[in-house]
Structures are given as structure tokens and as C-alpha cells.
Structure 1
Amino acid sequence: MSFFVSSSRKPSVPTRQLCKWLERLFGGEYENRGKRSVEDVVQRAEEKGFTKVLFVYESHGNPSELVFLDEGEWVEPIRIKSVVFHESNARVKKVGSAESSNDAKKLMALFGEFDSSGSKAFFSLEKIYFEQDGKKIGPELVLK
């Protein structure tokens, strides 16, 4: 279920924050892209054993797209309208289960298999959000 997360060249604070939350919730690894090309990032992810890479792009300083490279194939981008961050004082657990509306099954599948206890991810065509112990945690992404 884990994936390698990378951002644009000079990510803004909200974009870095989203990347770090995705790393924490899905158990992957996050690195700023810096001056590296997309090909360099993909190569680095492969060297670390990842088959899935998530690029978080931004527009006007805010996260605007999630773009997956899944086993060498580009997947249609997930366009983001806005992101709200929910804070949590509790220790955040990796996503262990997920729920989706019928029309968002393909969207949920991009994030992998869920098979253990922990926080819960919710997917619909309108938004993606996470809960732990009945409270929202981390990013809530409103989709376009």
C-alpha cells in the first residue's frame, strides 16, 4: 500500500504539509523533488523498492493535483479544489481500512490495499478524508 511521494520543485508550506501527511497515513516515503527531473525521482523510488510514485503538484501555492505513476503507467490526475488540515493530538496510525462511494472505487484502488487496523480513509468523487477514533485527522481534500 505504501508509495513514494514527491512534490514540485519548490513546494509551498501547504503542499509540503500534504505530502508529509500522505507519507504518514500510507506508510510511504516523501522527498522534495528539488532540481531533479521526474525521471530521476522515479529512478530513486525504484531504487528504494517502490512500484508506485505519487507526485503532488501545486498552483498558486496550493496543492492542485495528485498524479500517480503506477508500475510505469501514468494514471489520470486527481484534481484538488482545496485542502483543509485537521490536527490531532493523538499518535496518528497508518491507514488500515477504507470506505468509498460506489462511483469512487477506482479512486480508492489507486491508494492500494487496506488490511489492518488503524485510521480509516473515506473516498468519494467529491472528497477524500481520514478518521481515527471517530475524529477527522490530517488532510481533507475537496476534489474538482
Structure 2
Amino acid sequence: MPVQFIELVATDFNEARASSAVPADAVVTYLRTLTSDEHTEIAGVGQGRRVFRIDGIEIDVIHRDLGRHHVGQCGTCPRRTDCVEGFWALRVDHAGGVQPCLLRDDLRLDITPFLTDPHGLADHVAGHVTAFTEGTL
């Protein structure tokens, strides 16, 4: 089972709760007391992360100090200056939409026609992500 700690990404929505967030630095410091098996991944897309291995379990810490990494649509995005995370996750909303960016509703893919077709769903989502990362969406 993947284990991930994600440092709070500041947005207008959660600004009032920022004082209750645990900084990634504290998590990283604690994990370093448990293991010396640590590496950093910044290749690809999204937020940089630290990866720890403890007793065969990989623990990721999404850490803002490692910076954001933009590809495809992100490179020329008109909202890039407002971006707080880069692309590292797909979001599925309650209406059956998948989108790679919280700031861009125009990048949303409606997956409701594929909910009964797992292979079609996987193919369409994979194609959408590929088009996004290649900048052709």
C-alpha cells in the first residue's frame, strides 16, 4: 500500500487551516531517524518528493522545497504563475470528470461513458494524460 505525506499546498480554500498543517520538514526529520534509505525524485512532472524505504515499505514525502516541475500544457499555461503544485495527480470529481490540474477546468475529461468499461476507461485516461504531458490536449 503506498504511503504518502503531502505538504499542505496553499490555496485560497485552505488558507485558514494553514496554521494546523504539519510541515514536511518535521516528517522528513522523523523518517530519517527510522532509516538511512532515502532518495530524491524530481524527474517527471509535479512536485519534487523524497522517498524513504523502511522495512520494505516506500514512503513518499511531497516536499515544496524540492520545487515544481512543469511539462506539456504547464509550460505555456496562462495560469502558471498561480500554480501551487505542478502536475503530479489526477483528480476525479463527483460528476465523473478527471482533470490533471485544479486551476484548468478546460482540461477535464468526462469519464462517465467509460465507467462500465474498465479497459476503455484506462485507455481514455492514459490518452488524456499523454496529450496533457505532450502539450497537445
TM normalised by structure 2 equals 0.27
Q: Whose Rg is larger? A: 2
Greater strand fraction, Structure 1 or Structure 2: 1
TM normalised by structure 1 equals 0.26
Greater helix fraction, Structure 1 or Structure 2: 2
The higher-RCO structure (CA 8 Å, 6+ apart) is: 1
